[in-house]
Structure 1
Amino acid sequence: MNVSMNKQQLTAAVRAEANRLGFEGCGFAKAGFLEDEARRLEKWLLAGKHGKMHWMENHFDKRVDPTKLVPGAKSVISVLCSYHQPELFREHASDEANLRISKYALGEDYHFVLKDKLYQLFEFTKKLNGGLEGRVFVDSAPVMDKAWAVKSGLGWMGKHTNVISRKAGSCFFLGEMIVDAVFDYDSPTTDHCGSCTRCIDACPTDAITEPYSVDGSKCISYFTIELRDEIPAEYHDKLGNWIFGCDICQDVCPWNRKALPGSEPRLMARDELLGKDKGYWEELNLQEFRRLFKKNPVKRTKFDGLKRNIAAVRGNKKGKD
């Protein structure tokens, strides 16, 4: 470490740089074994609540202990980058006839955006610290990003299992730097969900089986993004008008009504992805799919997957013309 800078000063400097780079939050936690999370994850996997996302069974030891993922790791630095656009809540409320894509996928692929910023933050920290070993992650390795965001004080785990921030709501992406430097660590914040059950009550597939527990195999996002097989027929009418992802549990959350808007232009919704009618999506061809979703999360489901989703919601009340 720079001899003229102690860990409190280093922490403050890295947090300030994260803010300058456009992150709405930056928190610090000591790297180590996530005992409680490991127990919950094991129970969740054994119950089959990951559906056919078999990759979640892999690298269990690394998933619950970042020191096994990054040898020599001492700290996990978590960052928060918001994609919140208050006007989209109003637009979607009055635009239920059109087929819908989750708000997180209306801008540029967050993997690219956050990694660009995190690499800059890593180099800044390395220079300030007089050297740094570690890695950056954006939903790209077995890292329990939500658990680390909570441990570093960025927010609390909501009943829908998304992290909620008092300032940013829950419409944000998370990224991490797992490094060998020591910082002044943050403390978790308190839970502010209270007695509210709006997310649980609103879920059309009953995927939120109880507060703080989601059966991933019943989630609309699972059906429309992760599942490679045909969507079970008994769930078609519960998909509403969602053809990629789902925002229902976040749309009804009071904290998103109070959240400050995001500031990163690359994450904001592209106009050409808004207001497309049902006919446009049904006539979508492969060439247009590739053009429209280049560097966009929707490409994850692939062209055939998106057409499958469109066919599955055909005839649903909210998807009718």
Structure 2
Amino acid sequence: MEAQARAIGFAKVGVTRPDALPELPARLAAFLEAGHHGQMGWMAERTSWRANPAALWPEARSVIMLAELYTPETDPLAVLDQPERAAVSVYAQGRDYHDLVKKRLKQLGRWMLERAPGHQIKVFVDTAPVMEKPLAQAAGLGWQGKHTNLLSRDLGSWFFLGAIFTTLPLPPDQPEREHCGSCRSCLDSCPTGAFPAPFRLDARRCISYLTIEHKGPVDPELRPLMGNRIYGCDDCLAVCPWNKFAQAGSEMRYRGIIDAPLLADLAGLDDPAFRARFSGSPIKRIGRDRFIRNVLYAIGNSGLPKLHPVAAALLQDPDPTVADAAQWACTRLDKA
């Protein structure tokens, strides 16, 4: 199976059991009780499935976890020093990974079922109550670092995860142990201090959450800390020393839709133009208004008076959150 998975395009594969994580219910409950999920109410829904993979599909006997690379070709943090341009998380610069990874999962699943007739599979890519990162660690793909993301000694930080649940009883792989040691690079790099402790994330302060999941105005205290990041944040991933072992990604469709564009060009997008520009991109799902809100925060943080007219043009935007962001940006640039 490993050879076939690699031939399809996956970089790594591992197997675990659906009941391999008895500690998940307590971990999830603590995260939710602390309110660290913010507005992501879906995380508190169907917790019986999310905290127990064996309950999601009781007939499943094995979980196959797969990694697909999207390693950047250049330093993803370089754009942070270009205030008139937008910083977009590496994973969102091309085609939506949900579509591409799911196709590969189904292809591998069909190959498996041809060799094991009578069995069944279900595939998941970040769209169901499946805790992919703990399952991936249990399957030996890597470990959840102090930033809570999965990383690997031979892949670094830059890979997507996919899961195939199957009724096939497959021999499980050994789980991976943690290899962070005393390193604090990811924790210290966070612009907003989103890590209250190692291995704990408060999403309410995470720029990825704020730019993608958070609806409405962002706390004014946090806006200046977002810099020019308009969709996601790669800081804690990019500084990880394990990335020196990262392998190059081969899927070129994860690049090319957007790459450090000018903020002024993005601010002028109306809804049809936004949808056309980001067709096939994961960015499309947050909608034009939330996207323009993020762009205006970046304009306000730019310190560039020449962008004042760009922000001022949106002061009367029909969306109150966009209008609020425009006012904030104009005020910041007035001071600049």
Please indicate, yes or no, whether the TM-score normalized by the shorter chain is above 0.5.
yes
Equivalence for 2:268: 283
Stretch moving more, 191-200 or 21-30: 191-200
State the distance in 2 between where 1:260 and 1:320 align.
41
- Find the aligned partners of 1:57 and 1:18 in 2 and give their Cα distance: 33
1:102 maps to 2:89: yes
Q: What secondary structure, in the 3-state scheme, does the structure 2 residue paired with 1:28 have?
A: strand
For 1:71, the equivalent position in structure 2 comes to 58
Whole-angstrom distance in 2 between the partners of 1:318 and 1:142: 42
TM-score using structure 2 length: 0.87
- Structure-1 separation of matches of 2:160 and 2:104: 12
Report the number of matched residues: 306
Return the letter of the residue paired with 1:194.
G
Check 1:168–1:95 CA distance in 2 against 1; reply closer, same or farther (3 A cut). farther
2:240 partner amino acid = C
Deviation track 1:123-153 (CA, whole Å, cap 9, x = no partner) reads 1111111232131000010000001100000
Matched, 1:114 2:101: yes
Gap change, CA 1:257 and 1:69, over 3 Å in 2:
same
Q: Is 1:25 aligned to residue 12 of structure 2?
A: yes
Q: Would you say 1:175 and 2:141 are equivalent positions?
A: no
| Whole-angstrom distance in 1 between the partners of 2:100 and 2:247 | 19
- From the superposition, tell whether residues 284 and 205 of structure 1 become closer, same or farther in structure 2 (CA, over 3 Å): same
Secondary structure class of the residue paired with 1:315? helix
Structure 1 residue 288: Cα displacement = 2.4
The SS at the match of 2:16 is: strand
Q: Among 278, 284, 290, which residue is 1:305 paired with?
A: 290
* 1:207–1:218 CA contact under 8 A, matched in 2: yes
Q: For residues 305 and 25 of structure 2, what CA distance do their matches in structure 1 show?
A: 44
Q: Name the % identity.
A: 38
> Following TM superposition, by how much is the alpha carbon of 1:308 offset from its aligned partner in structure 2, in angstroms?
0.9
Once the two structures are superposed, the pairs formed by residues 123-138 of structure 1 within 5 Å of their partners are 123-138=110-125
- 1:42 and 2:11 correspond: no
1:33, distance to aligned residue in structure 2 (A): 6.0
SS at match of 1:234: coil
Output the CA distance in 2 between the equivalents of 1:219 and 1:299: 20
Q: Distance in 1 between matches of 2:295 and 2:83?
A: 15
Change (3 A) 1:46 1:319: farther
TM-score if structure 1 supplies the norm length? 0.91
Contact kept? 1:24, 1:80, Cα under 8 Å = yes
Distance 1:134 1:42, change over 3 A: same
4+ runs deviating over 4 angstroms: 93-97, 317-321
Show the 5 A alignment for 1:50-69.
Answer: 50-69=37-56
Alpha-carbon distance in structure 2 between the residues aligned to 1:37 and 1:318 = 45
Where does structure 2 lack aligned partners over 5 or more consecutive residues?
Answer: 307-336
Distance 1:257 1:175 in 2: 24
1:35 alignment partner, SS class: coil
Q: Determine if contact 1:208/1:214 at 8 Å carries over to the other structure.
A: yes
Where does structure 1 lack aligned partners over 5 or more consecutive residues? 1-13
Match of 1:260, SS state, is: coil
